[in-house]
Amino acid sequence: MYRDLSHPLETTTAYPGDPSVEIEPHATHETDGYRVSRLRLGTHSGTHVDAPRHIEPDGRPLDSFPIGTFSFDALLVDCRGKGARDAIERDALPEPTEDDMLVFDTGWDARWGTDAYFDHPYLASDAAAWCADHDYHVAVDAPSVDPTPTENAGGDEPEGLPAHRELLGADRLIVENLTGLAGLPERFALYAFPLSVGGVDGAPVRAVAEFRDGDDATESPD
């Protein structure tokens, strides 16, 4: 069975400084006999994938990865105990496995559309380095793997996007702004095939989980 893990773009909460999402009619039934809409968005709008080029000037663009890369063997990591602006440290990580992606379930997606969404937990840089060292791609149900700079940012938080640098600098991918992780089985297939934009730093995706009926965790989904 399949589950949508994507936020709808029409209500997207833009990362500070990012382009907003706009959706407008272009052709209409009344005038043209059919309907087509215009979209304006950023490569990191809504649920999206970060490529190494997002952070590294000479980093790999998204289209340099084989398409099968974006079908991930995902392992959930329960981080629902973390609070606002808490670090996810090395001790929250599992023993190494054969999966190729760790999906951090913070439950922070429930705050989508509010200012509190940007006070999310983040991945400590040594935890990010461990993920890269063990060949894991990373996904989060929050806007970033690093603290988001808002007026609530604390003085002891890392600057300079260190978790991004650890992961993208090692040619790992990052999927951000997931939703709907509650009740997923511990292991599932995560499809995050990004829009085909050549040479760029990232792209929006429709992220989807596939898992066998009966693999559900005991907790029911939201």
Among 77, 95, 196, 218, binds a copy of itself (CB under 8 A): 196
Size of site (CB under 8 A) for a copy of itself: 61
Closest to a copy of itself by CB, 35 vs 80, is 35
C-alpha gyration radius of the chain: 17
For strands 174-176 and 137-140, give the pairing: parallel
DSSP per residue over 10-34, as a string? Answer: GG--PPTTSPPPEEEEEE-HHHHSS
First CA to last CA distance, the chain: 16
| Least gap, CB of 66 to a copy of itself (angstroms) | 8
From the list 110, 153, 182, 195, which residue makes contact with a copy of itself (rule: CB under 8 A)?
Answer: 195
Closest CA to 16 of 121, 143, 140, 110: 143
Residue 64 engages a copy of itself in binding (rule: CB under 8 A): no
Contact 45, 14 (CB under 8 A): yes
- Binding residue for a copy of itself, selected from 95, 160, 219, 220, defined by CB under 8 A: 160
Q: Which of residues 27-56 bind a copy of itself (CB under 8 A)?
A: 27, 29, 32-44, 46-47, 53-55
| Positions in the binding site for a copy of itself (CB under 8 A) | 1-4, 6-11, 17-19, 23, 26-27, 29, 32-44, 46-47, 53-55, 57, 63, 66-68, 70-71, 160-161, 164, 191, 193-202, 204-206, 208, 210
